[in-house]
Amino acid sequence: MPTPSSRRAPDSTLEILYEDDWFVVINKPANCLSVPGRGPDKQDSILYRAEQQFGEAFAIHRLDEATSGLILVAKTHECQKRMYAHFREREVKKEYRALLRGKLLGQRGEVRKPLRCDWPNRPRQIVCTDEWSKDSITFWEPMAYEGNTTRVRLTPYTGRSHQLRVHMQSIGHSIIGDEFYDPEYSEADPRLLLHAYRLEFRHPFTKAWLAFVAPCPF
């Protein structure tokens, strides 16, 4: 099985979709860290590249390394602080696209299952109802059926680690290419087919309502 580092995106550039004095919106490639990890081989990341380009950069939120799509990076501490508040109060609307195993039937639905870290198998997460678990809610809506797969729109109400991936696995429709949660995962899978497609939020300074889309690459 290839390790995340062996699949890591080698390019050191940033695909910037929007930039102003306070933050940038970046289209993150799959298999690229959001922030630096531990060790010299895990320093390359969206945040590191932003620091190299802008001098200062501050993380607002994260995407899993294997997930592609929209990510925000602040240029100032004040912007980071204000955007943290937007995310904490669930004032940021997020939409993902994914390709699932099997046919997910129904016009729309939701998954309400609490999650926590699977400590012996970190960073994996599990559905659990013990005192350490956190409520987690995901809304889903099939867009198209492609053979024995489902192209789906996913909207997380909460933002737990690996939430979309574990929730889809829990209803029997794992995201294709998920080496943690897809029981049919194969090294032939090109990547995790999960993409952060849309972000909407109120600008932390101008108060204008903003919407950004990164076209799905699969």
Catalytic residues: 64
Q: Are 84 and 48 in contact (CB under 8 A)?
A: no
Q: Are 139 and 125 in contact (CB under 8 A)?
A: no
**CA–CA distance, 37 with 56 (Å, rounded to integer):** 18
Structure tokens of 103?
Answer: 């046919």
Compute the chain's Rg from CA coordinates.
Answer: 17
Q: Are 197 and 96 in contact (CB under 8 A)?
A: yes
**CA–CA distance, 172 with 143 (Å, rounded to integer):** 18
How many C-beta neighbours within 10 Å does residue 133 have?
17
Task: Compute CA distances 207 → 65, 93, 199, 201, whole Å.
Answer: 31, 15, 15, 9
